Structure 1
Amino acid sequence: MTSAERTFTAAARRTQIVAATIGALAELGYGQTTFKRIAERAGLSSTRLISYHFAGKAELMGAVVAEVYGTMDRFMAERMTGLPDSRARLRAYIAAAVEFIAAHRPQMAALMTIFMNHREPEGGGRSYEPGDDRVVIGRVESILRQGQADGEFRDFDPFIMAATIQRSLDGLPYLLQTRPDLDLAHYTRELLTLFDLSTRATPD
């Protein structure tokens, strides 16, 4: 086997393990997602194949978070490229976030159980830290600030508005745990109307 083939095989195995971990987390929860359960779900002959690619559970959980966020970032970027103004970008951001959550429920369930239960080794913090939150809110805040600079949005505190918008999206996976039949098209329309009315520039 060539070096390139070995690299491809290792990447494919890591992808297989991460996918199995997501499925186990979504179905079993954090505490029951052991290497044994993951190996069974992935069809691996031994947990040693997991340990070969991931130093421990913390590294594997990090890989799951990175995979879901990477997929979501690409999804969002595709839907926001080439839009003409900040109002359109804000609407696309909200609609795309709801669409992604709706289409990736196991992935979002996996993230939720990691964020609620996983702690870094040696007494460290949880896997979702304040710095991560600032980055996520900052993306929305930048859209709002640009819209204000261009006169599309009224004068408001862009951080508070961005946090409010992001929380309405972050909370959706939790809401779907108790309301799995929630009409997400209606949810999207209501959010778009709410934040359009609350951000738009008022006529003189």
Structure 2
Amino acid sequence: MQVTTRSVASTVRRAQILDATIEVVASEGFASASFKRIAERAGLSSTRLISYHFAGKDELVSALVEHVVEGIGEHVGALVMAEKSPQGRLKAYIEGVVEYADTHRAPMAALLQVVMSGAWSEGKPASSDVSHLERILKDGQERGEMRAFDLRVMAATIQRAVETVPFQLQTDPDLDCAAYARELVELFDRATRVDL
């Protein structure tokens, strides 16, 4: 029973450190995210508590990226899987990513800071894998619901369009994200649909 208590306490402490890291990186920038600042934000008595749970800043950054990407994946994945048609899945993907960026501004800003700082680059997976979009688009083409186009180019273009939302929110915090998503859905529906 003691092992379970320790693992629960360790999980809670790691989550507390990750949340504080997200807050510091999002509000102060990646360069300011020292263990000292993170410990202060988390209300920890010592930076050793961070070092106990994370081997170093690289591991903490990896955990932050994984945490945010998993959150996006869970949110958007559930919406996409609920749709039957490729066009419905594409719409759900676009709306889901934009909605997540709107409702999870600090994690998205932190992810953006990490990627832009170059702290998440060499030897690590790309921050925006487009294979999921390629599968949706390929299915649409195979069903005859979408026109012929280069899957990689279209998937990358859609991905970049939704990835810009955190940038937009930094310059325009009052951005109407629902309207933004509707415009993107319309744009990519027109770009992919079969001409009648």
Instruction: Give the TM-score taking structure 2 as reference length.
Output: 0.95
Does 2:40 align with 1:16? no
Cα 1:82–1:182 change in 2 (3 A) is: closer
Secondary structure of the residue aligned to 1:167 is helix
Q: What pairs up with 1:140-159 in 2 under 5 angstroms?
A: 140-159=133-152
**Equivalents in 2 of 1:46, 1:29: separation in Å?**
21
1:178 deviation in Å? 1.4
1:118 deviation in Å? 4.2
1:63 partner letter? A
Q: Corresponding residue for 2:108?
A: 108
Q: What pairs up with 1:21-170 in 2 under 5 angstroms?
A: 21-119=21-119, 126-127=120-121, 131-133=125-127, 136-170=129-163
Cα 1:118–1:131 change in 2 (3 A) is: closer
Cα 1:28–1:73 change in 2 (3 A) is: same
Q: Corresponding residue for 2:178?
A: 185
Instruction: Give the TM-score taking structure 1 as reference length.
Output: 0.91
**Equivalents in 1 of 2:124, 2:52: separation in Å?**
31
Superposed structure 1 runs of 4+ greater than 6 Å apart:
none
Cα 1:14–1:131 change in 2 (3 A) is: closer
**Equivalents in 2 of 1:65, 1:80: separation in Å?**
22
Which residues of structure 2 form unaligned runs of 5+?
none
1:136 deviation in Å? 2.0
2:130 partner letter? I
1:162 deviation in Å? 0.7
Deviation string for 1:89-146 (max 9, x for gaps)? 0000000010000001100110111111143xxxxxx43778425x621111110001
The two structures, once aligned, show a CA RMSD in angstroms of 1.6
1:23 deviation in Å? 0.4
CA contact (8 A) 1:153 1:199 kept: yes
Secondary structure of the residue aligned to 2:32 is coil
2:133 partner letter? V
1:2 partner letter? Q
Secondary structure of the residue aligned to 1:132 is coil
